[in-house]
Amino acid sequence: MIRPILIHPDPRLKKICDPVAEITDDLRRLADDMLATMYEAPGIGLAAPQVGVTRRLIVLDCNKEGDGAKRPLAMLNPQIVWQSEDVNTYEEGCLSLPNVFADVERPSEVKVRWTGIDGCEEEEQFSGLWATCVQHEIDHLDGKLFIDYLRPLKRQMITRKMEKFKRAQASGLVVKA
Binding residues for ligand K2U, per CB under 6 A? 43-47, 90, 92-96, 132-133, 136-137, 140
93 makes contact, choosing from ligand K2U, Zn ion, none, with CB < 5 to 8 Å by partner type, with ligand K2U
Question: How far is residue 150's CA from residue 155's CA, in Å, rounded to a whole number?
Answer: 6
Interface with Zn ion, residue 134, by CB under 5 A: no
Give the nearest distance from C-beta 124 to ligand K2U in angstroms. Answer: 17
Asked if residue 136 lies in contact with residue 78, where contact means CB atoms within 8 angstroms, the answer is: no
Give the nearest distance from C-beta 7 to Zn ion in angstroms. Answer: 11
Interface with Zn ion, residue 48, by CB under 5 A: no
Q: Which of 56, 68, 65, 7 is closest to 30 using CA atoms?
A: 56
> Contact letters (x/-) for Zn ion, 72-91, by CB under 5 A?
--------------------
According to DSSP, the residues that pair with 126 across neighbouring strands are 110
Q: Is 34 exposed, middle or buried (0-12, 13-18, 19+ CB in 10 A)?
A: buried
Give the nearest distance from C-beta 95 to ligand K2U in angstroms. Answer: 4
Q: What is the DSSP letter of 92?
A: E
Question: How far is residue 33's CA from residue 74's CA, in Å, rounded to a whole number?
Answer: 11
Instruction: Spot the catalytic one: 65, 85, 92, 137.
Output: 137
Question: Which chain residues interact with Zn ion by CB under 5 A?
Answer: 94
